[in-house]
Chains A and B, each alone.
Chain A
């Protein structure tokens, strides 16, 4: 059992989840106007996963992320204002407008990058964890990946390597049921992704991704194991995305009403608020104050992003090498 959350912890959890939700809902609206370039994959609906896991992490712990990386970035401490500018392709963005939504990274806060390659992060996080281990720190690495990436060889190789080298890695399979348009019921050969853990000599744990507290507790245990030198864990978080694979996806592969039903009955923010207020741990006033504060911050991030300069012609050729 991880220690119960303090009032500050609960406020932080809600603020992070609310920030991710509002960020994504706003990107969804702005993308529809045609002003945001490129491909955007939204994390709305999955907030409890990134938040419940990253709340256990320090700045020197690393995470590797996915196409659907905005939530992981925010939960790990990347500045949402810079992220919004990055998504708008502006020079003030986290990556100076050179990465975009699929490549937001901030190594200063241990965010090794959203990744445009499905399954790309598994080997990389083994490397950050190896470095932590060889230096004798107790830092961990979190590899977020989806049900699509769960079938990639890189993830299998990384899970085997992590056990062979006894690395402090937590493989977090965020199973939202769809790899692009293909159902995980079809594409994953076993009932649960976590069932594969035994094949790689590590514990496999399944957790309800709509329940922040369940994720937080399961992640706490896996991360504690890793910090204490007991090696990797595979944590399968079962959840759902509220939007398409990418913005513009008509989602005709989903059942009618599927998302609305989840929003109405299982939404992670709704469940969180209901639980903490019914237990008297936070008040509705606490919740509403965060809602207002986050809305202002997200609105402001868009104002700043719109006003920010585009990258300059001379930026094209810089940042390829440290020296060349």
Chain B
């Protein structure tokens, strides 16, 4: 039975259902219970934004508060995954990868190859990402492109509650290390989500809406902005096809390629910085594989090459907007 729940509830439900199904699933991170050793409630917080609220009581001994030691506990999650558990470590803000990246990209990502295919590391690292909360430069970044660059990691960016639940369940069941990124502006987004357990497979893009004029590839929160732009463009007689890759590693290049070969026009929308981004990656791929089909130069709509600013007036300029997406679509549509 589907009913409307939020993106945040969908994530909580996925964790709860997988912890119930499989006793090897554990959750660890800073304040994921939120209250360990304190005189009040042992699970006062349930995550800094309450995403893991309630799991502590339902799954005794398997929701572990950690010291603020990201290398320590992210590495411990990786080690535990090598010894039979399926840990879900919460990194709180993806920006904190800076203090534990070694355990992710030199350890977890490398084990299988470096050890000749004899290791498996079924660890999930959850973190929130994205701008829009006036959280400034160290709590607002979109760093999925950095993880996507690393062979051995899988990278998941759900754009809605349905995908959040199905992709997280797939992440937990997956036998490779998965970086699962949650846009903080999406936590309150509501959508139809089945109560029962289900998976959304990796490497299968969603065609969010069909259209023959322009292909828009957008990910995370930007999918919703692309939908806003497409609704406005429809009134002007332009039909946009919106593709949400859902996972950037593996990336469903077939669906993107098929669409661009039909429309001949591509706009890529990416909330991260433009250089070495998903936007440049997908643009480069299409330039190589579908050059003959293109009727206009590819347009990238990204944040600028600056840190995320604090002041509202600047942050609003920083984040790609539906208006900028619309402008980019018009540019490729009107190109002669």
Interface-centre pick from B62, B113, B174, B203 (highest chain A CB count, 10 A):
B113
Chain A residues whose CB sits within 8 angstroms of the CB of B106 once the complex forms? 116-117, 120
Judge whether B80 and A128 touch: CB under 8 Å: yes
Closest to B84 in A: A131
Say yes or no: is A130 at the interface (Cβ < 8 Å to chain B).
yes
Among B74, B115, B250, which residue has its beta carbon within 8 angstroms of that of A107?
Answer: B115
Say yes or no: is A160 at the interface (Cβ < 8 Å to chain B).
yes
Interface-facing stretch out of A15-23, A89-97, A184-192, A265-273: A89-97
Say yes or no: is A320 at the interface (Cβ < 8 Å to chain B).
yes
Chain B residues whose CB sits within 8 angstroms of the CB of A129 once the complex forms? 79
Judge whether B76 and A117 touch: CB under 8 Å: no
Judge whether B79 and A127 touch: CB under 8 Å: yes
Judge whether A135 and B84 touch: CB under 8 Å: yes
Among B72, B115, B154, which residue has its beta carbon within 8 angstroms of that of A161?
Answer: B72
Bound complex: CA of A126 vs CA of B87, how far in Å?
Answer: 13
Given contacts A112-B79, A117-B102, A164-B67, contact A319 B116 (CB under 8 A): yes
Say yes or no: is A132 at the interface (Cβ < 8 Å to chain B).
yes
Cβ distance B77 to chain A, nearest Cβ, rounded Å: 6
Judge whether A126 and B75 touch: CB under 8 Å: yes
Judge whether B75 and A124 touch: CB under 8 Å: yes
Chain A residues whose CB sits within 8 angstroms of the CB of B81 once the complex forms? 127
Bound complex: CA of A322 vs CA of B153, how far in Å?
Answer: 11
Chain B residues whose CB sits within 8 angstroms of the CB of A322 once the complex forms? 112, 120, 174-176
Residues 139-165 of chain A, each 1 if its beta carbon lies under 8 Å from chain B, else 0: 001000000000001100110110011
Cβ distance A119 to chain B, nearest Cβ, rounded Å: 9
Judge whether B152 and A321 touch: CB under 8 Å: yes
Say yes or no: is B52 at the interface (Cβ < 8 Å to chain A).
no
Bound complex: CA of A107 vs CA of B111, how far in Å?
Answer: 10
Bound complex: CA of A165 vs CA of B151, how far in Å?
Answer: 32
Chain B residues whose CB sits within 8 angstroms of the CB of A153 once the complex forms? 71
Closest to A86 in B: B116
Say yes or no: is B117 at the interface (Cβ < 8 Å to chain A).
yes
Judge whether A161 and B66 touch: CB under 8 Å: yes
Interface residues of A in 199-255 (CB under 8 A from B): none
Bound complex: CA of A185 vs CA of B4, how far in Å?
Answer: 64
Bound complex: CA of A113 vs CA of B72, how far in Å?
Answer: 17
Say yes or no: is A44 at the interface (Cβ < 8 Å to chain B).
no
How many B residues face the partner with a CB closer than 8 A? 46
Judge whether B152 and A99 touch: CB under 8 Å: no
Say yes or no: is B64 at the interface (Cβ < 8 Å to chain A).
yes
Given contacts A120-B106, A127-B77, A324-B250, contact A154 B115 (CB under 8 A): no
Cβ distance B308 to chain A, nearest Cβ, rounded Å: 26
Interface residues of B in 135-191 (CB under 8 A from A): 151-152, 154, 174-176
Judge whether B71 and A131 touch: CB under 8 Å: no
Chain A residues whose CB sits within 8 angstroms of the CB of B80 once the complex forms? 127-128, 130-131
Bound complex: CA of A96 vs CA of B118, how far in Å?
Answer: 10
Bound complex: CA of A262 vs CA of B154, how far in Å?
Answer: 50
Say yes or no: is B61 at the interface (Cβ < 8 Å to chain A).
yes
Cβ distance B166 to chain A, nearest Cβ, rounded Å: 17
Judge whether A126 and B76 touch: CB under 8 Å: yes
Bound complex: CA of A323 vs CA of B77, how far in Å?
Answer: 20
Chain A residues whose CB sits within 8 angstroms of the CB of B208 once the complex forms? none
Say yes or no: is B232 at the interface (Cβ < 8 Å to chain A).
no
Say yes or no: is B19 at the interface (Cβ < 8 Å to chain A).
no
Chain A residues whose CB sits within 8 angstroms of the CB of B111 once the complex forms? 105, 113
Interface-centre pick from B62, B76, B78, B102 (highest chain A CB count, 10 A):
B76
Say yes or no: is A291 at the interface (Cβ < 8 Å to chain B).
no
Bound complex: CA of A120 vs CA of B120, how far in Å?
Answer: 18
Among A125, A131, A160, A320, which residue has its beta carbon within 8 angstroms of that of B112?
Answer: A320
Say yes or no: is A32 at the interface (Cβ < 8 Å to chain B).
no
Judge whether B107 and A160 touch: CB under 8 Å: no
Chain B residues whose CB sits within 8 angstroms of the CB of A130 once the complex forms? 76, 79-80, 85
Among A103, A123, A124, which residue has its beta carbon within 8 angstroms of that of B115?
Answer: A103
Chain B residues whose CB sits within 8 angstroms of the CB of A107 once the complex forms? 82, 115, 118-119
Given contacts A134-B26, A154-B102, contact A120 B107 (CB under 8 A): yes
Say yes or no: is B6 at the interface (Cβ < 8 Å to chain A).
no
Bound complex: CA of A64 vs CA of B82, how far in Å?
Answer: 12
Interface, chain A (partner B; CB < 8 A): 62, 64, 93-99, 103, 105-108, 112-113, 115-117, 120, 122-132, 134-135, 141, 153-154, 157-158, 160-161, 164-165, 318-324
23 contacts between A and B (CB under 8 A): A62-B83, A64-B79, A98-B113, A98-B114, A99-B114, A103-B110, A113-B111, A120-B107, A122-B75, A126-B73, A126-B75, A127-B76, A130-B85, A131-B84, A134-B26, A160-B67, A160-B72, A161-B72, A161-B73, A164-B66, A318-B117, A319-B116, A319-B117
Interface, chain B (partner A; CB < 8 A): 26, 61-62, 64, 66-67, 69, 71-85, 87, 102-103, 106-107, 110-120, 151-152, 154, 174-176, 203, 250
